[in-house]
């Protein structure tokens, strides 16, 4: 068994225009002061990071690594959640998702998709230049508007959507393979890959691609009422990244999983700061450690009640407390008996073997 690395922090929800959140140097100083050991960088935020430059310049990447290391931190992974979303967008969401892309490709779905694919290629090369082995993203979605089967879905609709999704991602997965980086999909509502069953459909269509892997985030499974511990048993060999994020689900007579169009604070299912929700992180860290996961435990903060400052301050010690330092010997080694073949046969009531 191996020891999980951490605590780390995903910077997407903290980056801003005001210090200490406005530059990579400043935000790393802030994160280190709270006890974090690693930072996961959102590749779309130019205040912190230039993705294309990182893909094209090893010198730039070395400078980034130096900046981060000067605060006693490591870069855990890069993220292209926003760009990955744009690899596949149903027309119903075109206007909303245009905001994830530069103005030059707004109102131009084909150009926006091409831009997103290029961004993923940059991310593969940038990860290699930074010495990173995993990368976080979303799958995008073509079938999501048809999630609930009413009106009845025509036969072949979902299958056609997933074939197209696989066709778009297979070349990207190959680029990540060329750069020796695992592409880790965050299985998430709003994506066609939103649970284990949908991931399996996709995995089959990309021919079990070795670079097609998972970012594990239990909070989304609480909101879906999916067994997030069995999920680890089923997919541990594909889990390469870990977001430590809490959530709670408290259904009422008025609403359940779908939330009744309420705001985040008023939904039955909502994200919470670490320790304030219902996720059994003790069991999660134990299972991941049991299966040999040695990636980073990165806090992702999205609480609808607690402030981000308090959530970040409490997150590092919470994760550190849950990281299991794996044993290098068995607990009962003190009582170990010398192995003797003749004694083994005696214990089993067997006669001595003839020479």
Residue 307 CB: number of other CB atoms within 10 A?
11
pLDDT of residue 328: 73
Q: Identify the DSSP state of 146.
A: G
Sequence-distant (6+) residues with CB within 8 A of 346 are: none
Query: Any idea where the domains of the chain sit in the sequence?
Result: 5-347
pLDDT of residue 95: 97
- For 162-183, how does the pLDDT look when each residue is reduced to its tens digit (9 = 90+)? 999 999 999 999 999 999 999 9
- For 42-53, how does the pLDDT look when each residue is reduced to its tens digit (9 = 90+)? 999 999 999 999
pLDDT of residue 327: 76
Residue appearing with tokens 């690693």: 38
pLDDT at 333 over 90: no
Q: How far is it, in rounded angstroms, from Cα 37 to Cα 34?
A: 9
pLDDT at 353 over 90: no
User: Measured between alpha carbons, how far is residue 68 from residues 27, 65, 227, 329, 350 in Å?
Assistant: 10, 5, 37, 35, 64
- For 18-70, how does the pLDDT look when each residue is reduced to its tens digit (9 = 90+)? 999 999 999 999 999 999 999 999 999 999 999 999 999 999 999 999 999 99
Q: What is the CATH number of domain 5-347?
A: 3.20.20.150
pLDDT at 249 over 70: yes
- For 73-121, how does the pLDDT look when each residue is reduced to its tens digit (9 = 90+)? 999 999 999 999 999 999 999 999 999 999 999 999 999 999 999 999 9
Q: How far is it, in rounded angstroms, from Cα 36 to Cα 30?
A: 9
| pTM (2 d.p.) | 0.94
Mean pLDDT of the 128-149 span: 98
pLDDT of residue 204: 98
pLDDT of residue 335: 64
pLDDT bucket at 1, cuts 50 / 70 / 90: confident
pLDDT of residue 72: 98
- For 334-346, how does the pLDDT look when each residue is reduced to its tens digit (9 = 90+)? 667 677 888 888 8
């Amino acid at each position: 068994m191996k020891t999980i690395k951490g605590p780390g922090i995903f910077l997407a929800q903290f980056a801003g225009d005001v210090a200490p959140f406005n530059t990579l140097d400043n935000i790393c100083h802030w994160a280190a002061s709270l006890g974090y050991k690693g930072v996961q960088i959102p590749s779309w935020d130019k205040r912190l990071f230039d993705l294309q430059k990182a893909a094209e310049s090893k010198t730039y990447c070395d400078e980034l690594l130096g900046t981060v290391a000067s605060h006693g931190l490591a870069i855990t992974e890069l993220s292209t959640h926003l760009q990955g979303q744009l690899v596949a967008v149903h027309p119903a969401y075109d206007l909303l998702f245009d905001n994830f892309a530069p103005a030059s490709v707004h109102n131009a779905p084909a150009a926006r998709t091409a831009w997103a694919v290029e961004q993923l290629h940059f991310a593969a090369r940038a990860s290699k230049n930074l010495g990173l082995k995993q990368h976080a993203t979303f799958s995008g979605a073509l079938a999501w508007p048809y999630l609930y089967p009413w009106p009845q879905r025509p036969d072949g609709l979902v299958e056609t959507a997933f074939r197209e999704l696989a066709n778009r991602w297979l070349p990207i997965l190959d680029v990540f393979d060329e750069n020796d980086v695992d592409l880790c999909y965050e299985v998430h509502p709003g994506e066609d890959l939103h649970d284990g069953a949908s991931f399996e459909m996709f995995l089959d269509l990309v021919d079990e691609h070795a670079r097609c892997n998972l970012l594990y985030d239990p909070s989304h499974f609480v909101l879906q009422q999916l067994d997030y511990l069995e999920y680890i048993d089923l997919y541990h060999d594909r889990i390469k990244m870990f977001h430590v994020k809490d959530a709670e689900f408290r259904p009422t007579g008025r609403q359940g999983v779908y939330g009744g169009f309420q705001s985040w604070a008023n939904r039955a299912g909502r994200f919470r700061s670490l320790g304030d929700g219902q996720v059994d992180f003790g069991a999660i860290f134990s299972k991941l450690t049991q299966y040999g996961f040695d990636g980073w435990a990165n806090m992702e903060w999205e609480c609808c009640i607690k402030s981000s400052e308090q959530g970040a301050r409490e997150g590092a010690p919470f994760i550190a407390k849950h990281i299991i330092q794996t044993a290098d010997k068995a607990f009962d080694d003190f009582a170990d008996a010398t192995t003797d073949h003749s004694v083994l046969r005696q214990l089993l009531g067997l006669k001595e073997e003839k020479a």
